[in-house]
Homo-oligomer: A and B are copies of this chain.
């Protein structure tokens, strides 16, 4: 059994890791940390785990990496950034779900996160854990920077296009709609029930921190700098994410041709479902699953492609993808523990 530690186990992403790993046939949960709830049993903090997991929450210290095979860091950004060198001295593999090691350029990190990176020398060792693009590197990696939820949905929506010259890479707009759980479990006015329910709220338009992450990956695919206009919106639901991505086509292309190309591009992927021409991705159908559904629609009147991309922000957008990375790193079947279909309704 693979011994697992989870740092930050009392947040929503931490809980999702616990839930999925508790059912994973090769994983054994060993250490869970939480500053807020240290000393309490995790099943007291999350009563959904009663009868499933029986572990006490510990404070975060270096020992978290001591006796485990895989360490998941499910902490807010900067919380563990400076501890990575310590963890590296241990023998474990590390999957960091924060944003700290996603951007290769420390200057970009400083610009978008308004804080100086403490260990820029480790950035080169971190593999951006999007298996559909970087599976080989993940396989041999020790340290994974697990992608953000928005970038996962937008990059997967666009990646196949970069193998073609069909689209104008300067015209990308991503309009994303997210459930509230992406904001975490810490109470705030922005996530207070009365402020969210029964309304839709844009936030951080053209300034969200996931923008450089999308641009880094898309630029790498393009071989040239690519810019994205990114607009996140909070909608009244707990889970799920839909990105509606717009890009101008250089020529008239049918949805059928696009679907065929996308299906070919993703033909070996277990978690990408390219929909039929004319179908739109719908977050209901990926809720609680590790799937990312992608729909392709051509607006022939304006020669524009509209890509809809749906995922569960806490699974393919966070914990599920992290476990997918773990499976790859460990050389076990990538689908292990991750093939539950969406729960509907």
Contact = CB atoms under 8 A, between A and B. Distances in A.
A12 interface: yes
A193 B344 contact: no
Contacts of A173: 173, 246, 304
A233 B177 contact: yes
B192 A187 contact: yes
A287 interface: yes
A56 interface: no
A345 B345 CA distance: 15
Contacts of A23: 339-340
A197 B345 contact: yes
Contacts of A55: none
B19 A343 contact: yes
A244 interface: yes
Nearest to A248: B171
B227 A51 contact: no
A167 interface: no
A143 B342 CA distance: 30
A227 B304 CA distance: 11
Contact of A47 (B188, B206, B293): B293
B298 A206 contact: yes
Nearest to A340: B23
Interface string A1-40: 0000000000010010001001100000000000000000
Contacts of A344: 15, 19, 46, 48
B50 A282 contact: no
A297 B193 CA distance: 27
Per assembly, the copies of the chain total 4
Interface string A327-345: 0000000000001111111
A299 B195 contact: no
Interface in A197-236: 197-203, 205-206, 227-229, 231, 233, 235-236
Interface string A283-308: 11111110101010111111010101
A196 B193 CA distance: 7
A203 B297 CA distance: 11
B201 A229 contact: no
Contacts of A196: 193
A342 B126 CA distance: 33
Contacts of A201: 242, 280, 282-284
A194 B180 contact: yes
A273 B51 contact: yes
A175 to B, nearest CB: 4
A102 interface: no
Contacts of A273: 50-51
A185 interface: yes
Given A19-B343, A206-B300, 7 more contacts: A23-B340, A50-B273, A181-B345, A201-B284, A205-B299, A233-B244, A239-B345
24 contacts: A19-B343, A19-B344, A23-B339, A47-B293, A48-B342, A49-B341, A51-B270, A175-B246, A177-B235, A181-B194, A193-B193, A193-B196, A193-B238, A197-B198, A198-B237, A199-B282, A200-B310, A202-B282, A205-B308, A206-B300, A206-B302, A227-B302, A235-B237, A340-B340
Rank and list the top 5 A-B pairs by shortest CB-CB distance, nearest first. A199-B284, A194-B345, A206-B299, A48-B342, A187-B187
